[in-house]
């Protein structure tokens, strides 16, 4: 059984950085770096890819926070919407939806073709699994996703008794998942392959993982995400087209 420890904090000179905030900063930075590296390899204009990454991050963080507040404190939010500025936290489902909406809005604003926009979305999606290991490490460090009580060897010895730490379980899943993505990327893949694979596999995983959560089991969001992955993979396989190698400046 894994021991429990109080959430650690980090200090850089006079700066006090909560462990979750530091891990989130590392995750976001690595996410953008990997997406940009793949974009350069694919011949995409780095300036456009960087702006899309920027708005994807902004949309992800905003909607992740809104989803956290609205899903967990809906009556309080309806009574006083400013509660979003007082309650901390993020939810992955809201982040995925917000990132997609931001990417779609930016692609439309730049008047990119469907293929050009999807190609850049593919880079952003490909880059997700590895950085999110650090995001879930942050969750594990602060133990903000306690799960069902269990004597399993992967359970954490919380003060109130041994139980699953969902942040730890997801972090362990993401390690081979991200390695698999890099292995698959050794060969050319049709447009939509990584987006479809990510949404299908991650959505299916979260359907299983969230069944161990303490809060009410909300499966419908992840069913939609996994279904989107299936549809995209079928379309990707049917089209069989490789992404375009450039985007307009």
- Residue-wise pLDDT for 62-94, tens only, equals 999 998 888 778 788 888 888 888 888 888 889
Q: What is the pLDDT of residue 242?
A: 66
User: Which alpha helices (DSSP H) does the chain contain, by range?
Assistant: 19-41, 46-72, 74-79, 92-109, 114-126, 129-142, 166-184, 193-209, 220-239
Q: What is the pLDDT of residue 75?
A: 83
Q: What is the pLDDT of residue 225?
A: 95
Q: What is the pLDDT of residue 247?
A: 43
Q: What is the pLDDT of residue 29?
A: 96
- Residue-wise pLDDT for 185-200, tens only, equals 999 999 999 999 999 9
Q: What is the pLDDT of residue 27?
A: 95
Please give the model's pTM, rounded to 2 decimal places.
Answer: 0.90
Buried-exposed string 150-180: b where 16+ CB fall within 10 A, e elsewhere: eeeeebbeeeeebbbbbbbbbbebbeebbee
Residue 2 is classified by DSSP as B
Low-confidence residues of the chain, pLDDT below 50? 246-249
Our measurement of the distance from residue 18's CA atom to the centroid of its chain's CA atoms, rounded to an integer in Å, reads 20
Q: What is the pLDDT of residue 244?
A: 52
186's enclosing H/E stretch is: none
* Cα–Cα distance for residue pair 80/78, rounded to 1 Å: 6
Q: What is the pLDDT of residue 15?
A: 81
Q: Which long-range contacts link 207-211 to residues 24+ away (Cβ below 8 Å)?
A: 209/166, 209/169, 209/170, 209/173, 210/166
């Amino acid at each position: 059984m894994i021991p429990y420890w109080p959430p650690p904090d980090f200090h850089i000179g006079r700066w006090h950085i909560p462990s979750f905030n530091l891990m989130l900063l590392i995750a976001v930075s690595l996410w953008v770096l990997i997406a940009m590296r793949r974009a350069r390899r694919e011949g995409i204009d780095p300036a456009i890819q960087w702006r899309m990454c920027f708005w994807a991050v902004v949309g992800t963080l905003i909607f992740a926070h809104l989803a956290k507040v609205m899903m967990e404190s809906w009556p309080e939010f309806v009574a006083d919407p400013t509660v979003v500025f007082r309650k901390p936290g993020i939810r992955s489902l809201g982040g995925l939806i917000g990132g997609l909406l931001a990417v779609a809005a930016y692609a439309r604003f730049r008047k990119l073709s469907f293929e050009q926009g999807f190609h850049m979305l593919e880079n952003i999606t490909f880059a997700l699994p590895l950085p999110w290991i650090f995001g879930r490490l942050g969750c594990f460090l602060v133990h903000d996703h306690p799960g069902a009580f269990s004597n399993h060897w992967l359970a954490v010895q919380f003060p109130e008794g041994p139980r699953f730490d969902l942040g730890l379980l997801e972090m362990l899943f993401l390690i081979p998942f991200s390695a698999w993505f890099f292995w698959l990327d050794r060969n050319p893949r049709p447009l939509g392959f990584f987006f479809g694979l990510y949404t299908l596999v991650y959505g299916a995983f979260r359907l299983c993982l969230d069944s161990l959560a303490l809060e009410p089991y909300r499966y419908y969001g992840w069913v939609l995400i996994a279904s989107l992955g299936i549809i995209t993979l079928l379309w990707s396989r049917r089209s069989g087209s490789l992404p375009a190698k450039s985007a307009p400046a």
